[in-house]
Amino acid sequence: MKKIIIINGPNLNLLGNRETDIYGSTTLDEIEQISINKGNELNLKISFFQSNSESEIIELIHKVQNDYDGLIINPAAYTHTSVALLDALKTISKPKIEIHLSNIYNREEFRKSSITSTGVDGMICGFGSLSYILAIEALNGLLVN
Ligand code: DQA
C-alpha cells in the first residue's frame, strides 16, 4: 500500500470556526476522516498532520523522501511567505501537490502569489474540503502512471 502524507499549516486547526464564509464549516478532523476514507477507496495509506510551526513542517518534509510515496500540502499562510518551505519541498523527488480550500487568486493581492507552488507538481485550490479529495485522486494518478 502506497503511503501519502497530508500536511496542514498554521491556523488550519481552527477550521470549522475560522472565517467560515471563506473556509466553510467542515473541521480539520472531518477533512482528515474523509481523506482517510478516500485513501481506503484507492488503496492508499493516508497520514494527516497539522502544525502552526514552520520548523515542524520543514522537519516533516525532510522525512517524506524516505518515509512516504507522495505528499499533499496546504501550507496556509506560509504559502505566501516561506522560501524555507519551498526549499524543503524542492528536496523531495516524490509526487507533490499543493492545495488550498479557498481560491487564492480571487482574494487579497498578497494571497495571489504562492512561493511554495514552484516546488510542487501541481496545485488545486478553491474547492473547499473537496480540494483535499481532488488532490488525493490526482496524486493517485501520478503514482500509478
Ligand atoms: C489557505 C489560503 C491561505 O492564503 C491562508 O493563509 C490559509 C488557508 C486555504 O486553504 O485557502 O490559512 O491556505
Residue 49's φ and ψ, nearest 5 degrees, are -145, 140
Q: What is the CATH number of the domain that holds 83?
A: 3.40.50.9100
* The predicted structure's pLDDT at residue 144: 86
Vertex 134: Cα angle to 68 and 86 (nearest 5): 50
Alpha helices in the chain (DSSP H): 20-23, 28-42, 54-67, 83-90, 130-144
pLDDT digits (tens, 9 = 90+) for 25-55: 999 999 999 999 999 999 999 999 999 999 9
Length of the chain: 145
The boundaries of the domain holding residue 32 are 2-144
Centre of ligand 1 from the C-alpha of residue 109, in Å: 13
Say if residue 145's pLDDT is above 80. no
What's the structural domain count of the chain?
A: 1
User: Which residues 6+ apart lie within 8 Å of 59 measured at CB?
Assistant: none
Q: Which atom of ligand 1 is nearest to the CA of 10?
A: 12
pLDDT digits (tens, 9 = 90+) for 81-99: 999 999 999 999 999 999 9
In this prediction the pTM is 0.97
Task: Indicate the pLDDT class of residue 16, thresholds 50, 70 and 90.
Answer: very high
